[in-house]
Structure 1
Amino acid sequence: MTQEKLFASFLLDQTQGVEIALRAEQVTEATHIQGGIQKLPGSVDFLEGVMHLRDDVIPVINLKKRLGFTPDSYTQEAKVAVVSHFNTRYGLLFEDIKEVFRVKPEKILPINPALRTDDQAISALIKVEPGKRAVELLDLDHLFAGSNIDYTNEEPPHESTAKQRTYSRYVVFSSGGQEYGVSVEIAREITFCREINEIFRTGIVAGAIELRGRTIPIIDTQALFTNSETTELITDEHSRILILSAKNCSVGMIVDHIKEITTVADDSILPFPYSDNDNVKGMLSRLDGENTILLDVHNLLCNHVEAIKSMANIGNHKEQEHEDSDTGAHTVTHHLITENCYLIFSIGKNFAIEIKDVNEIIENDHVMRVPGASGCSTEVINLRGEVVPIINLRNFYQFDTKKKSETNKLIICSAHGQTVALEVDKIVTIYKQEQFYATPSLGNQLRSKKDTLDRLIEFLNDQEINEHVLVLNIHSLIRNHLQLETTSRQAADLHADQHADDTITEQAKG
């Protein structure tokens, strides 16, 4: 498989919608202007000046001037991307930080040299969203070609001194008016706060997003930090989702604003006065007066890891199915995370279905009624070009009919070559339960459908009451009931057609 490449993108000019990308390994950090930029008289016109960055002096380049943009000025809100080129650090001025993203090499389209300017600073276009969004790739080799703008006046640190100090890099963001930092080592991407599927909202989990075919659970950061499950999720145009690698899976944190990527000396991190809080690594005191709490994300999420991992594997178990190249046999790798996890739903009372049997969960909109249909399946949906029957589980298990509401959801499942949508009142939660029990004798209402309820689990509900929940067997439902019902309908239709033909024949004879 072709290795994806990692890029960091920045907004060069918001008015003209110009977005510039750099190879992520070239960017050592991204920060706001610290302490102002000191002008250097007699320098090249695109050198804005120098900026003090901790113990270093960084030349700052006005990219708008360098690339011939008009107007070429920046506001105090401008950001500086610190890049490393031939062991020298430079600052590139941008209006804002956009995101960090990965793309496959075939999405990078080199610009024909005949169509480039003389300096060839923009070397390629990156198709981030084909047909919608392309980002220009900045080539540092050509950007600095023929320029001698190393205006750093300080001697490089002595080798023995450099070995004594260690440095770490952090992504700094704001949430609820406070600044936090997480290690760059666990940061995977920074993406826009796209539409979050709130079907799985429970506790600190705000829902999930689809990112390149994978389900990424999204954390309500304020709920996580305050240990509260009643916070209102509020996002705006500055909000971002920071994708992190935590507990062997990917998880997203909703943040108010990505401020910078910064490098700090480990010995400059202030320890907390108490040692029993392993959720934080320490505090960073910054030149602008802001204090940044450095987080240990793995410890922060340890109490929620099962729900996060379970959600991260919803709909992704299909990716584990593959065909053996030698035998042609299909094998499936089972994840222990999903083996004993259940999706709890309600149809007047709580039921469960194994997570590994769930393809996806969608809203119950765009439902179409089938004329003349009866029974538990009277409606269908168009699921990406496939007509999928809806099984109303209230009717199937003979519960009282309830008026449809916004909480109604469709659980999409497949078995025996048939895809169905199970209509339920609401999604309750995702629950892990290692042990299950054989279903005892059922009452008259459910006895005829016992084959679809062949086990039960114990579920601790939100009222801290331990209840027995029946587990739906989708394979038995489709094999023994849906296909049987379809066959019965076809037989009934055939019998009716034959009866009509016989009647017409008798009438003709008369």
Structure 2
Amino acid sequence: MSQEQLFASFLLDRQADLEIALPAEQVVEAMPLAAPIQPLPTGAFFLEGIMPLRGDVIPVINLKKRLALTETAYGDDAKVAVIQFNRKRYGLLVDDIREVLRVSPHAVQPLDPFLLTEETVIVDLIKLDQGRRTLELLDLRRLFPTGGSGVDEALDHDEPPPAVQRSYSQFVVFSCRQQIYGIPVGDSREICFFSDIDQTFKSGKVEGALQLRGQTIPVLCSATLLGCAEETITPTEETRILVMQSGLLSFGLIVDKIHQILVVADDAIMAIPGRHLPHLRGVCTCAPYNDIMLLDVQGLIGSQADRISAMTRLRKNNGSTEAEEESAARHLITEHCYLVFAIGKHYAIELKDVQEIIGCGDCMPIAGDGLVQGIINLRGRIVPVIRLRNFYACPDHNVVSRDPSPEDKLIIGRANGNLVALLVDEIITIYKQERYHATPSLRPELQAKKDTLDRLIEFINGEGLKEHVLVVNVANLLRHHLLIADQETVTPVAAPADLIDSPPIK
């Protein structure tokens, strides 16, 4: 039996109630007109003009003119469907955005060949509701018979060079005295709640020491290291200790607040001229923080390295081995860490299974009561959306009755080369927990999903209370419930900094 296909539908002409559709994978995004379209009088008759799109300029096509409709004007509330064809992007003007729907093969009816001409761009009809609703399926190969070259010639610019493969880096973003900083994730071991520091070891810029799993960790204040006026530390509920690793040196960094984990394209990092600021790797710009100073860990600790090394040796002198120190050095922030989120109660997902976190504004809903409630176009890749409130139905926690909110988040989970977007209410924190337990039992309504909840962790919440939190198994969710076969392991496509909405860390 042939599989159903996803289509994005649009209202082309509101007065005539004319709907068109496109395969969902061809639609990059759909949006209101944010700025006036710049006309190009010398272009093709159906070329409305050009519009800016995140640093690029794309041609915008008046489909009403192309389809020879009687009324070819659009209102102030017109929308633009951005489509991808032959590695190029175009905007299609429509009156409104309708929905993404799942269509069975027998609902797609080809037009008889004798009805088609060389100018025809509609070759199939989608019949729904027993023929009461009909969508005209737009064929981009006929809309752009020369691969779009005719439209591009009207823009009078050279063919853009092939896309260059970009490399990305991850940073933990924190604030210190109103300034935003980023420090490499690769130099980060874990994030701890602020606790009383043993001031026996206080000396110079070292505020004291933290005992972490038997190891003495010298703790420094980021404000002092970064040249802010020395002052008494007054911790707040948002104060954290970021435990860092530089070579074999471990130390804690007191920061005012940790905001998120950010992915930044390496070519978007602006270098610092000269060598007079060894603690700064560069600067990147990312909303909502504007400029973020990216730190170099070795340059940051600088003259404190010997003092940190002497304190780190305290544990070794008490019986630790080189192997233990090397093992500790491999505890990056993504190891043994979980992203804790809320869907009426707390659940978690292993941080290594999280590619990124974004808002839910770009989710295209799918009608029906199926497992997949929508899809998103994630930089050219169609990703199914599952609303975890519905998937893990929990009436006693009032999970089902809550309506979706614009403040909900999408966790992009990854496993075995596949992606799934998990719609959740709120991101709670990133939590370090090296131990987990097999799930002993589940409520009857969760038995059918027990393969996706095969472990749990102990979580100390913000009130200091211990909870048992179920951990979502992304691989089993994709494999057994979405029925998506494993692919070969691939490197996930990281998002540019301006597309990431990563979690706050508490």
TM-score, L = length of structure 2: 0.49
Q: Which has the larger radius of gyration?
A: 1
Question: Which of structures 1 and 2 has the larger relative contact order (alpha carbons within 8 angstroms, sep 6+)?
Answer: 2
TM (normalized to structure 1)? Answer: 0.49
